[in-house]
Amino acid sequence: MLRVLSDLERYTVSATDGEVGNVIDLLFDDEQWTIRYLVAETGGIFVQRQVLVSPVSFRQVEWSMRQFHVELSVANVKDSPSVDVHAPVSRQQERAHAKHYGYANYWGRGGLWGAGSHPSLLVGAAEAPGDDALPERSDETDDAHLRSAREVRGYELRGNDEMVGNIDDFIIDDQTWQVRYLVITTSDHWFAKRVLIAPQWTTSISWEKKTASVDISREAIQRCPEWNANAAINREYETRLYDYYGRPVLSGSAGS
């Protein structure tokens, strides 16, 4: 099912023996556009700490109760490696995080999550045989291309002729955790509306300038099928959207 990403903020993260904290942000990678971590805030009023929780650890999600249940103890989460989510999270830090929980790395094996498309496939997988013996590569310590969803909201979207509007939110697949659409609020004062653009349609993104670009005109985007936040995204809507832009509907779309 497709869900609005901002709706997941303030969900409670519950461990097997108590509550961990509340979700305050989500981190996605800017290469495969997939949510890699929830950022949960733990502790009380005076002592707070932010920890990363991967969808790999989920045992159940109660959408109606706004709770993520993880197959971890409170102590295990709170003792996880410290990460400053306001700074780039490196591959080295991610490896330490995965090692702490005994999970395999999600990158480098061809799929969205290791060799597959679902985070559950990494449960109990641990490091692949021989991983520890692999030579250290430069990309192990460089920026892992993780981006804060909160930070990216507000980025400008530019068409091939002029500015279209701003990235307002994200639509994700709650099974694969891939970002399926960017929610764009157009900038027309009288006829502003919310429309969807697949991240694969962007031609460039400047993280420094906080802009994304698409090879589509402002007028074309203004006239595309409007997104209704109160209605589910179904196969019919996606077909109309992709037909309008002359693009083939991706496999795994809503209703497929």
* Domains within the chain, CATH numbers bracketed: 2-147 (2.30.30.240), 153-245 (3.90.50.10)
The C-alpha atoms of residue 89 and residue 160 are separated, in whole angstroms, by: 32
pTM more than 0.85: yes
67 against 133, higher pLDDT: 67
Lowest mean pLDDT among 117-126, 181-190, 216-225, 234-243: 117-126
Under the banding of pLDDT at 50, 70 and 90, the label for residue 124 is: low
- The contacts found for 228-234 with CB under 8 angstroms, 24 or more apart, are 229/4, 229/194, 232/1, 232/2, 233/2, 233/171, 233/181, 233/196
- Residue 138 scores a pLDDT above 80: no
Do β-strands 12-15 and 67-70 pair in parallel, antiparallel, or remain unpaired? parallel
pLDDT at 178: 96
Residue 62 near residue 13, CB atoms below 8 Å: no
Under the banding of pLDDT at 50, 70 and 90, the label for residue 232 is: confident
pLDDT at 24: 93
The C-alpha atoms of residue 108 and residue 127 are separated, in whole angstroms, by: 12
Structure tokens at 107: 């990158």
Average confidence (pLDDT) over 181-210: 90
Number of C-beta neighbours around residue 194 at 10 A: 15
